[in-house]
A and B are shown apart, each in its own frame.
Chain A
């Protein structure tokens, strides 16, 4: 196989094909889907809207990918979003300058993530359970910060983070893009990505190989918390308010779904940050598609469930065996059953 085919291969992945199909479907349902216009110094159009609304889930999915790659899961991201958003909104009403607001809420997100990491890495609690604690208690914490109210603020600097535009592109998209690029290079151009995969494949083996898996795990959960903090900030700045009960509700599930669609194995050891982001865009394109097609938004959940089931069937062992049997036969290692 020559090099060019190898390089083109990611472009032909099922995720990209699925995304193109969904976009095509959206275009058939709503012919103006690909129209992008320039108004008030920024781009407008359904496509931009998909990216803009998909940004928070994409950001969560970046953190979630690294966590899932270590064979973990972070259920607390939605609640952490609420915590960070509540802190930002409360500080903004208090008239604090932007850097203080940003740093405090991001630090809170990081702190929540580090707490999860501590439970997982040091106390050796299953990730699913460890992050459940913060998922339950996090919304309570957020309400503690907002004192049970829906805090609204009027700080143009902070709301720029959610609604502003940079060279005509929404800020949320810019932030997500920077995060994705930075994460991708940090993981794939250094050994960190390999370390993560090593932990996900077999943690004790990674330890014996000299990896400091404890510190790395804490850092990864911290990173996921930080991503949740960023997403929380964007959502809060977007609606100019913090609702401790509803901010980020169910987004942990969307983020996990995005990662799964992106082909990252839930069993750890194999991940792709970029594909997870594609997964997040697919989810948002489906949401938008359901909206523009005039179907009631309730169908959203049913369609999502259908997509998860379809992916599970496709990823399951038996179906995979059928597909890979020809490929495996070509390579010499025929360890599987004849």
Chain B
């Protein structure tokens, strides 16, 4: 077994075991209905997590995800309700703004040589503040287009419904995986996460790649914000608080190394599904309170971080892929 795939396999095994455990307790969970809801309920988280995967593999971090989701939600709502834009036009504007925002953060990180963590923290403040300046109240969106979208779904065998936004998430993961694993840009991302200096010496366009990575991350957060507004039919400046942490947790649980340079898009998908599983289990159980979600996710995060550590150590001993830990 290739050592590279070990964390990914571990995540997969844990997911299958956890799902089997859930099904043995609640046979109702073994249905396409639940599966369809899984995809719909976690669509925005999944889309955002795709962007975070790029950022984390490149050795960075993006804390502005949740704020950008909230901001695009409000922006779309204001554009549709206040200015009478067609939703599709509003989406295009919101995505453009989000992408520029991410590119600006990337430029800051690249040219000022400051930790990504602090720049995206400022970005988070800026996006949340911007959203609450646009509107502090939750704005309901009742455009016919929204109703049409939420009425659209593909019937799956067994009565499950594959919603538009669930499908969009799957599509995002597929494209994300293609870009990350099959393009030149994808290998640049890995190279940056491995070691910036060697990447530069090998001729990787570091500045352009960094800016693109953060632009992608914010673009996908903006897309997640649109999906969130479709999901809730509203825009609210305090929506999706803390989603950046859920997204980071999903990426880490999916086996991606937080030090960068290692990870798979598929792992992130399983990480998102595992979080969805925990939530669904708690809903099914009924007696457990929602705070258990946080504790279980924290625990999973801990287990996977320790696991990474152990694998990382053995990998370092057996292979030449040594990376300086400071």
Contacts and interface: CB of A to CB of B under 8 A. Distances in A.
Nearest to A144: B291
Nearest to B310: A123
Contact of B114 (A129, A136, A315): A315
B252 interface: yes
B83 to A, nearest CB: 20
Q: Which of A129, A136, A312 has the most CB of B within 10 A?
A: A136
Interface string B132-144: 1100100000000
A71 B115 CA distance: 12
B245 interface: yes
A217 B53 CA distance: 30
Nearest to A312: B114
A124 B123 contact: no
A286 interface: no
Interface stretch (B15-23, B90-98, B212-220, B300-308): B300-308
B294 A260 contact: no
B326 A298 contact: no
A136 B297 contact: yes
B118 A134 contact: no
B122 A312 contact: yes
Given A125-B309, A129-B252, A256-B121, A312 B112 contact: yes
Interface string A235-275: 00000000010000000010011001000001100000000
A133 interface: yes
A253 B298 contact: no
A308 interface: yes
Interface residue SS majority, chain A: helix
- Interface size grouping (class) on chain A: 35 or more
A318 B289 CA distance: 52
A301 B309 contact: no
Interface in A126-161: 126, 128-130, 132-141, 143-144, 148
B160 interface: no
Contacts, number: 125
Interface string B105-124: 00010011111011101111
B128 interface: yes
A5 B212 CA distance: 48
Contacts of A141: 295
A209 B114 CA distance: 29
Contacts of B115: 266-267
Of listed A123, A132, A253, residue having the most chain B CB within 10 A = A132
A306 B133 CA distance: 15
A203 interface: yes
A73 interface: yes
A302 B133 contact: yes
A304 interface: yes
Contacts of B302: 133, 137
B129 A305 contact: yes
Nearest to A304: B125
B133 A140 contact: no
A305 B126 contact: yes
A301 B118 contact: no
B126 A312 contact: no
Contact of B125 (A126, A148, A302, A318): A302
A296 interface: yes
24 contacts: A123-B306, A124-B309, A124-B325, A125-B309, A129-B258, A130-B305, A133-B305, A136-B301, A137-B301, A137-B302, A139-B291, A139-B294, A140-B295, A143-B289, A202-B326, A256-B121, A266-B114, A301-B126, A301-B129, A305-B122, A305-B125, A309-B122, A317-B113, A318-B112
Given A129-B252, A140-B294, A143-B289, 18 more contacts: A129-B305, A130-B305, A132-B245, A136-B245, A137-B298, A140-B298, A253-B121, A266-B118, A298-B132, A298-B136, A301-B126, A301-B129, A302-B126, A305-B124, A312-B118, A316-B112, A316-B114, A317-B113
